[in-house]
Amino acid sequence: MPTFLNSAAWQPAIKRMPGVQRVIDLSVVVEDWWFDFYHNVDTSSQISDQKILGWPTDNVNFHYLPIRPKCARRVLRELPLKSRGEYTFVDFGSGKGRMLLIAAQCGFRRLCGIELRKELHDQACRNFRHCHNVETCSFESLNMDAADYECPNEKLVLFFFNPFASEVMAKVLRKLIASLDRCFRDVWVVLHDPSCAYLADRTPQLRLQVAQNGYRIYRSTSSTREPEETSAPSSPSDCTKSNLRTETASANAASFND
């Protein structure tokens, strides 16, 4: 593609223009406010409160930053699943549950959040109890370290919005691989804003399917067996798109620019 048609090439230049960053910041504030108001929840993040608790200085377990709703919806649209009702969606580092509330609109069988910090877990539970305008679905929030989580023997979508450093990610992936060795099944790993993507890239049991716009999507693969699920034509009801992209090795270095 010619460089001038590639938005990743000119977006940084536009962001540097006077006033543009302020407009972007304001639109994020409005988007956040509207999400909470519309769903009757509190998924906001106050960095000053987090500083008192010392979370931003933790270089292993990152602090809370809720995902932008438009980014969450975009990545969910890109998941090439045929029947979402067969899959459990797990958010590693689920915070106050915003990603789970958005995923609830996409027809997953079950939704599970894993959150290290009790204050955030408690707020997620309150949000699940009181939310409006969310399709009924089974929510669960577990207050625990993701490194200790055992993946259930189900078809899974595992979501990571930059929750922790590579030492925790390595433990999570080791547990996932052991679980796939015991019981091979269709598992999709979604890394949003991935600082530890290199660990997933090096995992032979995961094959990169999509790499763009700040996220990477992998699918479980086995040398002896392929998962039976394949991408299907899109249907408006399940938010899927029939645009599965199997990336070549060169695409592994794809830009993460939003």
Ligand X SMILES: C[S@@+](CC[C@H](N)C(=O)[O-])C[C@H]1O[C@@H](n2cnc3c(N)ncnc32)[C@H](O)[C@@H]1O
Contact residues for ligand X, defined by CB under 6 A: 61-62, 64-67, 91, 93-95, 98-99, 114-117, 120, 145-147, 161-164, 168
Helix, coil or strand: residue 249: helix
CA atoms within 13 A on the CB side of 23: 7
Cβ of residue 197: shortest distance to ligand X, in angstroms?
A: 15
When CB distances to ligand X are compared, the closest residue is: 93
Write a three-state SS string for 6-58: CHHHHHHHHHCCCCHHHHHHHHHHHHHHHHHHHHCCCCCCCHHHHHHHCHHHC
Cβ of residue 72: shortest distance to ligand X, in angstroms?
A: 7
Nearer to ligand X, 55 or 87 (CB): 55
Nearer to ligand X, 82 or 98 (CB): 98
The DSSP output letter for 237 is: G
Cβ of residue 235: shortest distance to ligand X, in angstroms?
A: 26
Which residues make Cβ contacts (< 8 Å) with residue 242, sequence separation at least 6? Answer: 80, 231, 232, 233, 234
Looking at 121-179, which runs of residues are DSSP E strands?
138-143, 155-161
Cβ of residue 159: shortest distance to ligand X, in angstroms?
A: 7
Alpha carbon distance 61, 147 (integer Å): 11
Nearer to ligand X, 58 or 154 (CB): 58
Cβ of residue 79: shortest distance to ligand X, in angstroms?
A: 15
Nearer to ligand X, 36 or 91 (CB): 91
Nearer to ligand X, 82 or 93 (CB): 93
